[in-house]
Copies of this chain bind each other. A is one copy, B any other.
Amino acid sequence: MTLNPADEKLAKRLPEGVLRDLSPAYLEEPRGRFFGQAGLIAAPRDVEEAAAVVRACADMHVPIVPRGGGTGLVGGQVMSDGPAPLVLSLERMTAIRGVFADEGVMLAEAGATLQQARDAAAEAGRQFPLSLAAQGTAQIGGVLSTNAGGVNVLRHGNARALCLGIEAVLPSGEIMHDLKRLRKDNTGYDLRDLLIGAEGTLGIITAASLVLAPVPAETGVAMLVVDSPEAALRLLSLAQDRMAGGVTAFELISGQGLEFLSEHFPQIRQPFETRPDWMALVEVGLPAGLAADSALEELFVAGAEAGLVSDGVIAQSGQQAGEFWNLREHIPEANRAVGAIASHDISLPLSEIAGFIRDAGTMLAEQGDMWINCFGHLGDGNLHYNLFPARGRHRDDYDDIRRDLSYRIHQMVVARGGSFSAEHGVGRLKTGDLARWGDPARLAAMRAIKQALDPAGIMNPGAILPISG
């Protein structure tokens, strides 16, 4: 179906005062791989206005690009070609509609930032246990639409697991009211989880009912030196056996990452005098009556006895715990300062990780001189496997092999039952990967669902699925 650009004719059909000035800020994504276009920018104040905007676009066959904080890394938030879309920004729908501390539930509008949601939970003596580097800017609607992950997935799941219900505008312009504060509700198809992770291609989430978790009575963090990713995984298994689900984060950090850090952020104190090849950042949240530092110390002893841990340091204060996390969170920044040849947001079955790291390292050594920084959410099997130019060389020197390197890495991941997009989504960057490696029956069903809910193809065209003829 032919789509039309968002123009003056459409503008006249929109609710009064909903338009914003065109600004490049709405057309950018963090890595600069895509630059969007827009005919109009609309920022509705409530769900009825959002629905009116969608209805107008549906009537006139104008594409809509929903926009949250714009922090996504796969180009889901920018439409580079085709007729100039209407960008629908959720920036004015930022209310925390209610916090139900005793229920462990919060109702937040889609434009509230993740940080806002976390703060509102903390004020009520609870936590919203989704945490990622971009949380000051990323918005709840985007976090859900991309099913964001982050560092606490091991304990609390992805964004999808933290959402009980949504309010959304469907591509028809109808409002779906499903903002339930219920842990159990088996009344038909799970449209909530269908819209979550659909990257704005099946509708626009305007508000969500979110899970709040209790704040653990005791928390602690340790950095533990391990010989290998395999040892780290065995340590994780040991930790989970001991902690009854109390392991809230388990991050793998490589010696290469520590080296990048010391080059670009020398002010960040590194915990070990000799730089280890691998270390794990372990965070626990424990019941009252069990001191976190002694539980971590016992884990260290058990890990050392099992030959898995050779050195370690346990945070002695909340401030020191914060410093450990600060180190972890600066790794992506150091990576940016170095300038990656290629980045991969992959996941693997846990028992395939060590083999993948070994084989991928061998393969890359044959491809040319480069550095690998492999780090990330090991407990979830989610690695950020990033390649960097060797000293004295520049990322541009690898232009001719970049695509091939990524193809080979993704191929190795898929062959081991892994995913070429663990937490970032498909967006416009990985539509080719999805078409290549996605299961054909699943892809056919996805296309059928897209066609059924958005027959005119106006919702974020080109994201996830290519625009159909």
- Seen from chain A, the residues whose Cβ lies within 8 Å of a Cβ on chain B are 100, 102-105, 146-147, 149, 153-155, 157-158, 160-161, 170, 172, 174-178, 180-191, 193-194, 196-198, 202, 213-218, 233-234, 237, 240-246, 285-290, 294-295, 298, 347-351, 377, 379-382, 417-426, 430, 433-434, 438-446, 448-453, 464-465
Instruction: Tell me if B194 and A189 are in contact (CB < 8 A).
Output: yes
Give A439's nearest chain B residue, CB to CB: B177
Instruction: Tell me if B186 and A147 are in contact (CB < 8 A).
Output: yes
Residues on B with beta carbons closer than 8 Å to the beta carbon of A294: 289
| Beyond A177-B439, A187-B430, A244-B285, 11 additional pairs, beta carbon < 8 A | A102-B234, A149-B184, A160-B193, A182-B381, A182-B419, A184-B422, A186-B424, A186-B425, A188-B442, A189-B197, A290-B290
Instruction: Tell me if A241 and B217 are in contact (CB < 8 A).
Output: yes
Instruction: Tell me if A214 and B189 are in contact (CB < 8 A).
Output: no
Give A213's nearest chain B residue, CB to CB: B245
Find A434's partner among B182, B188, B421, B442 (CB 8 Å cutoff): B188
Residues on B with beta carbons closer than 8 Å to the beta carbon of A465: 188
Residues on B with beta carbons closer than 8 Å to the beta carbon of A421: 185-187
Give A289's nearest chain B residue, CB to CB: B290
Residues on B with beta carbons closer than 8 Å to the beta carbon of A449: 189, 194, 449, 452-453
Find A426's partner among B160, B170, B187, B445 (CB 8 Å cutoff): B187
Residues on B with beta carbons closer than 8 Å to the beta carbon of A183: 153-154, 158, 347, 379-382
Residues on B with beta carbons closer than 8 Å to the beta carbon of A426: 186-188
Give A184's nearest chain B residue, CB to CB: B422
Distance, CA A196 to CA B189, complexed state (A): 8
Residues on B with beta carbons closer than 8 Å to the beta carbon of A147: 186, 190
Find A419's partner among B185, B218, B377, B441 (CB 8 Å cutoff): B185
Residues on B with beta carbons closer than 8 Å to the beta carbon of A216: 244-245
Distance, CA A287 to CA B276, complexed state (A): 29
Q: How close is A188's CB to chain B, nearest CB, in angstroms?
A: 5
